[in-house]
Structure 1
Amino acid sequence: MHVTYSNGKSVGFGTIIRPEEAVLQPTVTFQTLSEDKAYTLMMFDADAEVPLVRHWTIANIQGRDPTPAFNSNSPIHQYTPYHGPTPPENTGYHRYIFTLFEQTQFSQVLRPVLDFPNQHRAFFNLTAFINENQLKPVAAAYMLVTHQDGYEGEYKRINSGRFKSASAST
């Protein structure tokens, strides 16, 4: 799996990335494991002060052509719209993990169904999510990100239109 941000910086295993470099969702490519399968990609903060914060979840990525899922605002694909890393001050580096899961069904409705996918990102139970949706991890990468002053406001300003339209579609 290759995760690359617009500045050309790739996420590996422990790549250091500044929040300003990760404002927009990255490009994700992966070697197709099976053209007949669908996949779910998840990005989460493994070091949040709460149990887990999900930052991005894309579902129903077709193995034969993943592009439509990554470019879609449809709820069938955007389980959780992208939100770049925003670690709080004085918490050191946080591991933001990208994990690709193989789904058991081709067009799967992920549980729980979220009424407001942009809200309630914290306290996410990843183990229950994986078990309930019968997801199998097949690839991963992670980056290290620390707090950057002023980043949160800039992120909201740049993406405010995208979030309103994504929320309205649910």
Structure 2
Amino acid sequence: MNATDALAAAKQASIDGKLSQTAVENIECWLTENRYAEYRDQVADEIAQQKWQALDDAFWTIIPFGTGGRRGRMYPIGSNAINDRTIGESAQGLADYVVQYHKGQKDLSCVIAYDTRHKSRHFAELCAGIMVAAGFKVYFLDDYRATPQLSYAVRYKHCDCGIMVTAS
């Protein structure tokens, strides 16, 4: 199923009460905007398989960023799920904020840690790549760590920020 047909099917599913309108709006972004191109086929496949409940859960909102970071269930696609796209957006957002906060500073640095939870290391490596691409020196703690160890490392290394990938 191509993106045009997938979008038409999603809109019809909304009319039929199988998808929320906000899910369709977010699905439309993922099917039509270039920044989501790598996920387009997967979104279209899920629509072709009529996975309406999973799609509605994954797209009904944009997963919020709160005091504890982003929290949600893992699903490979969707704006309301923990996946490569939403974790990458979080890391890029942090990088952009720190760069703006430290206007003109050239030696920005970040510590990244992860715990034993499913895909924690994968997401930590993804964050590291994004921070390096944004010009940060990254200290990657290459083993399972507790959150207080990240806090200590940020202070010890005099870093500008830290990222802890954890489900807690």
TM over 0.5: no
Q: Looking at CA atoms only, which structure, 1 or 2, has the larger radius of gyration?
A: 2
Indicate the structure with greater strand content.
1
Structure 1 or 2: larger helix share?
2
- TM-score, normalised relative to structure 2: 0.32
- Larger RCO, structure (CA 8 Å, separation 6 or more): 1
Normalised TM-score (structure 1) = 0.32
